[in-house]
Amino acid sequence: MVLTVRADFYHYCVAQPKLAALLEHGAYPLAAPDLTALHAMITGPAAKAGLSFEDDLPVRLLADTGQDAPGRLALLAYALYQLYERDGAGRQLTVASYKAFGGVEGAIGRQAEAVFQRLSKPAREAMGPVFRELVKVDDDGATTRRRAPLASVTGEPARAELVAAFCAPDARLLTRDASGEVPVVEVAHEALFRSWERLREWIEVRKDDLRLLRQVRLAAAEWEERRRDEAYRWP
């Protein structure tokens, strides 16, 4: 079994004695890739698939992504996917296609706004209720994605329309997983929180509310685990 955890959440693992003991053996720290490694991550799989890049497109991708930019891997992956969708049949990934969807920085944000504008008015107005379930803000203000039961997110027709559009194969901004007992939905790329201006502003305005919502959910879960003991219920 292989488990992965982001470095900024590692301290939560160490706080659990049994998990901390396991981490003393077999843990493998994976450093952030440098430019050489990132270049190999782009060109190596493409070569194995029989694809080529026009001119110095891989170098341009890396320059536009930014070596230390947060979420750069998600942005890079999404941009490469967009290139493949447009040029894969021709076996060469081109600069013209890269420019057409706005490059790395604009890829996710432009796609999200384009999908959003095609929605009906009720579905656009459902953005807040939908992303309230899919966004999590911790005590330090860090924004991460949250997996939520599909039924709790799509409880109304307008919400269901938004989720369906964002999960569509030509969007892939949200992902649904029905492999477990309860189908769930989550944001496909956390870069969406930064690249889509509409959502970024929505989160910024409501950051304190989202942080409190997370605290309430954690407290409610603990209260349920303690069989609704009054000592664990907020006054």
Structural contact between residues 116 and 198, judged by C-beta atoms closer than 8 angstroms: yes
Mean pLDDT of 116-130: 97
Farthest CA pair distance, the chain: 67
Instruction: Give mean pLDDT, residues 130-159.
Output: 92
The whole-number pLDDT of residue 195 equals 85
* pLDDT bucket at 49, cuts 50 / 70 / 90: very high
* 103-112 average pLDDT score: 83
Rounded to an integer, what distance in angstroms lies between the CA atom of residue 32 and that of residue 187? 22
Do strands 184-187 and 174-177 pair parallel, antiparallel, or not at all (unpaired)? antiparallel
Give the model's confidence band at 203: pLDDT under 50 very low, under 70 low, under 90 confident, else very high: very high
67-93 confidence digits (pLDDT tens): 665 557 777 888 898 899 899 889 999
Q: What pLDDT was estimated at residue 179?
A: 80
**Percent of residues, the chain, with pLDDT higher than 70:** 97
Q: Which of 104-113, 164-173, 211-220 has the lowest mean pLDDT?
A: 104-113
Model pLDDT, residue 160: 96
Instruction: Please report, to the nearest 10 degrees, the dihedral formed by the alpha carbons of residues 147, 151, 153, 155 taken in order.
Output: -170
3-state secondary structure the chain: CCCCCCHHHHHHHHCCHHHHHHHCCCCCCCCCCCHHHHHHHHHHHHHHCCCEECCCHHHHHHHHHCCCCCCHHHHHHHHHHHHHHHHHHHCEECHHHHHHCCHHHHHHHHHHHHHHHCCCHHHHHCHHHHHHHHEEECCCCCEEECCEEHHHHCCCHHHHHHHHHHHCCCCCCEEEECCCCCCEEEECCCCHHHHCHHHHHHHHHCHHHHHHHHHHHHHHHHHHHCCCCHHHCCC
| Residue range 104-126: mean pLDDT, rounded | 91
Residue 74 tokens, joined: 């998600």
* Per-residue pLDDT band at 191 (split at 50, 70, 90): confident
* Full-model pTM: 0.68
Average pLDDT of every residue of the chain? 89
pLDDT for residue 146: 92
pLDDT above 80 (res 175)? yes
Task: Say how far apart CA 104 and CA 74 lie, in whole Å.
Answer: 10
